[in-house]
Structure 1
């Protein structure tokens, strides 16, 4: 019977899957591209029409990103294609007009169905092939072999590479606190949900096992499953050597399984194209409802125990389809971790033992988490079930990020014209929700909002805590101290850690929590300002009231790494606390460089790279610098080196000096004050040019433009800085200090008169200072003043 729908109505006409397992007799070690191509051929054959005829009609091929293409640092040990979609197309013997590589995220396959269904409905496309795969199991296996296959290939042709799409899915706060892996992120949500439900650890573990036990039964009967074995709820949650902890409350059996070799593909056409190609109507499946929504960024969410946007997407897709949850025959709720299922099931009122089941594949921990492409398998299974039970509805929910993105499709064989959704309108509502205030440098008493403990294979445990400051209710993320077993044991054994008091302190390398302030003081005593006898990376010399600080890493052109930053912070803390030191000079050892900036070799080694709270060189983020610091720039001041010099009150350079913010040349940004200070110290156009190009400024030009105070002959920058320091020390150190304080206090006051009339306690100090009286007396008595700095 001819369907009474417009000719541009989008339909799914072919689905295919491919898989292989290590150890199986027919294992051949297919590459990811080969797996995608096998699945694509299966989808073409699934149309019931000659595959070559269908392939020739494809106008667009879209690839779901593999893990090895999913982050800037991802590695393909056996090589990869430069253009995966066109590599697949080449195996099919076709050259589609368009090739697309989708962004990262498990929402991708369902989002692509939604997107290209709309484009077909709008007449922009007619025949679209969606495909994706992972061969992680084979890649890991062959990477250890003496003879390894080469999966690299180069194909010609255009590609719309949409990028990684990681914006909002990661942050420097998460990175510096080990909150990058999916298990630790989802464990935070899971523990928050358990606390909200007021369940014990044992009861909640049992409920996770009960939720996933039926999934294992489905996986056991799926020929494409990577782990086809039925397990009991107790087996799933009982920690053993094989089922070890990953991130509490998750043992390994509850975590998405990436050790897979799986591919899947879906073919979409318009009704008109299907008729032209001779695809029988019993192969047609219609997209009845759909939605795509995104959650707030992880640390901005009001409630870490829920992801309401996913529920809203599910409800809206059902609304578009014109049905209720009771009308759905099959579900596949994305199941990377239990909460990804329970979050949506809670919102839709679905029980863990719903007789319809919550998966059609067996779920990511058991069927397999084929990277970003898992839901392509769910769609393929759903299409087959819709065909087997005409008129029934199948629901696919696809999740990406950290419960971040959710795409939904509702499918049925019943003909229906394309229905547009209101996802953009609903997304605007979500985006307007207020964000939780976050504290970048939290200090003081706090309470635990949620937590997890990650477990390394060697037994090391790491506490990750999200907390709220008692004073401000600001949220923060922190770790436990490496030597604090007390916190880890409390999180692992307390009846309910969430809501309990803790103490947090911010360090340059990250935020750290202990159970009490006394415990923090015991493990990390606050260092009283003072100088050591010697330093490893810095030399310090006192000459009366003058302090000279020399960065002593000439072999690295005085580039700085975290241990050097820590020493410089300690030194300048001591300088500003010592009343007998009135002026400081910072310079670099040797005659080649003042400071070449960040030690990129150290950074590239994979070691943690950070600045102390006072910033690069202990200066660039230091507030209240009320004693002069002079930069004596000998040679190059690049990147962080120039940022350090600009943070100083005065700058003396030798004639050979070269100054630049060179970060853009190595893919970085001058975030240690360079992009802020340079436009305030130079004409904006000049500063912008330097920031965007990395252009070097010579000594004379820097002087002419006002970036430096003085140019000396080559090799004489330190001598010139000493002369300038002597001129400063001829004046009252109290007057110098108060002058700098007044400058600091009024810097942000735009109105001149308001700044001039600003009341400052520093002036009250000056009125009663001994140095003030001494200066006036010495002037009247026509003698040199004897300053006391008090």
Structure 2
């Protein structure tokens, strides 16, 4: 010890707290209160007094309640979590940090701040986290009136709810894949298929692994659920152990309804000596690594994570040891696949006497949000102090086997001078591996690669599948049609992996079945006729003109999926109807043409999707050959402006406003707004509107060429109908031909290329009645009698 460099980082104090929900809910601990308790224990664990005053850095693990918009705490919380904790223990750190989301974060923070300590950027660092999900749920049930709000002020480095690492893409969002259990279900079943096991055989393997964890939890005084389970109790489906998402019954899933906190105190050898911390408390970090993986569909294999394998390899190599040298383990255990894959990578046999957890695992010890691994490290420290000179490994996982952090610890110092570990070469191996191609709109024959079934109150609700197209080998997500019980039951039976399936694209979620006939049974009928009544629109015919009114004035005519679906059907019918030659689209009331996407509907958590033809059935419609005039009677914001730009002509009220405010609410103009605005008014003016989110008034819109006419509000519809009348005075076939030619050549950047682009538009015109009628009427000096054919 005497030869160690003063800047060698060490861990010198650990603390844990587990609380039951109190009988008097008014006494329930908040996140800050329980975290401060753990911090005090960590300070006491150093064996010396007055350590808190020396802390220069406090890092708070992000609470679960502050991790997603859907997990907000109804009782509030601290505006500066690490400083609130610091104030309760008598610390006044120069630096307060609030970490981002991820189960790998506690180990990642140990890795990061060991480097900072080594470099001299910090001297004494407190890592702390606390969860009170159990208290929150109990207080909500009891309708308690708690106030946990506080603002200690001071500096805070808030790293945000995300760390820039992609976990979910548009594909997952469209298929309602938003919960960790769904992703792990897909991976677990892929692993079962790879091993060639039946549901029963694989269930037994999962139960064997987790039964061992539960036995550790049963003897751990910090466990939230200290019960030892038999394999049968874990895997047998009962009323109390219902299926949640296949292949998981409740007892095999991490449980977050806990009140738990943990803290770690890090410093350097030199600082520890100054503080008088005895060497018996010192724990050394021998090796560590942080490696992240791709989104699930892009991974070469769905049942494994290359990044996970490389993180273990990198940490072991840095520590100068092999997997067989590790004496004590804690493997992140949110779901069985994580533990079993880690065991395979580390060559741990089923009869290996080493426990795979120090705590008892997330389903039994408890799953305190992002902070579980801080408990694992604290428990590992206690084990290593009791078994001096041994090696311990902590593995932490974030996302769906997406982000991996590994640390190897011992009371014995490293053989060589401590130096930082560089994970970049290992990360490069993941990044440089070719990604599997993903098909967003799959069609045709495919192979079922894996699946998971979502259950509701123990009954199968629907299934999500991952397949590979036989034509391209591209991956895709798909779901069974909602009423397709035959496909669902075959998947539930579990013997369908590797079978041929048939898939078709749909904005609500690609659909699949095991036969083409079964798939076609549930293909939605394309609506190409007008209905007698509409719920969200008004439809009126005036001669050859169709008037469509978005009728949601209470929502400023904002659109949600049902309204978009209605509009798609209306414009399908418009295109089909030979007696309709022009259409006018407007909004009900005098306030708004359309405020775009219905943000309240979006915030409600209901499924969001847009028809293939786009927002309002127009913004992505490729084959439109009939003119649509936007009668903008008020606000045209976000999707409202995107609809107006997708129309051919725009008549606007002089009081109208036009804008793309998406950047102000964390979105972007994804329904053609960015592309159309830059082409319609010029790059610089368009980018100012897009990047600032600021609207322009009607006068400016007219100057920019965004609209055709500006008129008093009461004249908007009248002027739009007058324009439609002029269009109807022209040949409908010629109008359609003009629009068709524009659509077919609009992709050409060069005018000469567009002029010389091969097309059949003129051929169609030559064979129309309107072509001959036009020339005859001109020769006979009479008004043409257009037939539109």
**TM-score, normalised relative to structure 1:** 0.95
Mapped partners of 2:668, 2:278: distance in 1: 57
Cα distance in 2 for partners of 1:166, 1:626 equals 46
Corresponding residue number in structure 2 for 1:582: 581
Structure 1 position 591 matched with structure 2 position 590: yes
Which position in structure 2 is the counterpart of 1:689?
Answer: 688
Residue 341 of structure 2 aligns with which residue? Answer: 343
> 1:718-733 maps to which residues of 2 (within 5 A)?
718-733=717-732
Partners of 1:560 and 1:598 within 8 A in 2: yes
User: Which residue in 2 is equivalent to 1:541?
Assistant: 540
* Cα distance change on mapping 1:25 and 1:278 into 2, 3 Å: farther
Partner of 2:670: 671
Whether the aligned pair in 1 keeps the contact of 2:25 and 2:135 (CA below 8 Å) is no
Q: 1:246 maps to which residue?
A: 244
Q: Which residue of 2 aligns with 1:564?
A: 563
Residues 536 and 314 of structure 1, relative CA distance in 2, 3 Å threshold: same
Gaps of 5+ in 2: none
Report the Cα distance in structure 2 between the residues aligned to 1:47 and 1:418, rounded to whole angstroms.
Answer: 22
Matching of residues 596-611 of structure 1 within 5 Å: 596-611=595-610
**In 2 relative to 1, CA 528–570 (structure 1 residues): closer, same or farther, beyond 3 Å?**
closer
Which residue does 1:132 correspond to in 2?
129
Name 2:782's counterpart in structure 1: 783
* Cα distance between partner residues in 2 of 1:25 and 1:328: 45
Contact 1:78/1:143 (8 A) holds in 2: no
Residue aligned with 2:221, SS: coil
1:631 touches 1:650 (CA, 8 Å); kept in 2?
yes
Alignment deviations for residues 178-198 of structure 1 (CA, whole Å, 9 cap, x no partner): 211111110110000000111
Partner SS state of residue 716, structure 1:
helix
Q: Which residue of 2 aligns with 1:354?
A: 352
The CA deviation at 1:780 is: 3.2
In the TM superposition, what is the alpha-carbon distance from 1:691 to its structure 2 partner?
Answer: 2.3
1:22–1:658 CA distance, 2 compared to 1 (3 A): closer
Question: 2: distance between equivalents of 1:722 and 1:441?
Answer: 38
Cα deviation 1:555-602 (Å, max 9, x = unaligned): 433222222211110010111122332221112233333223233343
In structure 1, the residue matched to 2:365 is: 367
Query: Retained in 1: the 8 A contact 2:502–2:515?
Result: yes
Q: Note the C-alpha offset of 1:524.
A: 4.1
What are the superposed Cα offsets for residues 272-327 of structure 1, whole Å, 9 maximum, x if unpaired? 10111111112111110000000101222221111111111001100000000111
The aligned length equals: 786
- Partner SS, residue 71 of structure 2: coil
C-alpha RMSD over aligned residues? 2.2
Contact in 1 for aligned 2:16/2:41 (Cα 8 Å): yes
Determine the structure 1 residue equivalent to 2:442. Answer: 442
Q: Would you say 1:474 and 2:474 are equivalent positions? A: yes
Note if contact 1:288-1:419 (Cα within 8 Å) is conserved in structure 2.
no
3-state DSSP of counterpart to 2:476: strand
Question: Do the aligned partners of 1:4 and 1:415 also contact (CA within 8 Å) in 2?
Answer: no
- Give the SS at the match of 1:547: strand
Give 2:552's aligned residue.
553
Matched, 1:85 2:48: no
Give yes or no for contact 2:243–2:250 (8 Å, CA) kept in 1: yes
Match of residue 153 from structure 2: 156
Q: What is the CA distance between 1:454 and its match in structure 2? A: 1.6
Q: Distance in 2 between matches of 1:460 and 1:451?
A: 13
After TM superposition, the structure 1 = structure 2 runs for residues 689-728 of structure 1, keeping only pairs within 5 Å, are 689-728=688-727
- Matched residue SS, 1:486: helix
Match of 1:117 in 2: 114
Are 1:190 and 2:188 an aligned pair? yes
Contact 2:26-2:146 within 8 A present in 1 as well: no
Secondary structure, counterpart of 1:510 in structure 2: coil
Q: Does the 8 A contact of 2:555 with 2:598 survive in 1?
A: yes
- The C-alpha deviation readout for 1:98-147, integer Å capped at 9, x for no partner, is 11111111101100000000111111111111111212222222322255
CA contact (8 A) 1:20 1:27 kept: no
2:171 aligns with 173
TM-superposition CA deviations, 1:218-262 (whole Å, max 9, x none): 111111011212212222111111111111111111111112221
2:95 aligned with 1:101: no
Query: More displaced, 112-121 or 538-547?
Result: 538-547
Corresponding residue number in structure 1 for 2:309: 311
Task: Tell me, in whole angstroms, the C-alpha distance in 1 between the residues paired with 2:745 and 2:716.
Answer: 31
Which string of whole-angstrom CA distances, capped at 9 and with x for unpartnered residues, describes residues 14-73 of structure 1? 1111112347999964322222112111111111212x2x11111101111111111133
Which range moved further: 551-560 or 189-198? 551-560
Deviation at 1:628, TM superposition (A): 1.2
> Residues 30 and 553 from structure 1, CA distance in 2 versus in 1: closer, same or farther, beyond 3 angstroms?
closer
Return the alpha-carbon distance in structure 1 between the equivalents of residues 712 and 20 of structure 2: 72
Gaps of 5+ in 1: none
Contact 2:293-2:307 within 8 A present in 1 as well: yes
SS of 1:533's partner is coil
CA distance in 1, matches of 2:514, 2:449: 14
Does the Cα contact within 8 Å between 2:174 and 2:507 map onto a contact in 1?
no
User: Is the counterpart of residue 334 in structure 1 residue 306 in structure 2?
Assistant: no
Q: Which residue of 1 aligns with 2:455?
A: 455
Assess, with a 3 A threshold, how the Cα gap between structure 1 residues 415 and 778 changes in structure 2: closer, same or farther.
Answer: same
Q: Secondary structure at the match of 2:512?
A: strand
DSSP-derived class of the 2:585 partner: strand
**Is 1:422 equivalent to 2:419 in the alignment?**
no
Q: 1:407: how far off?
A: 0.2
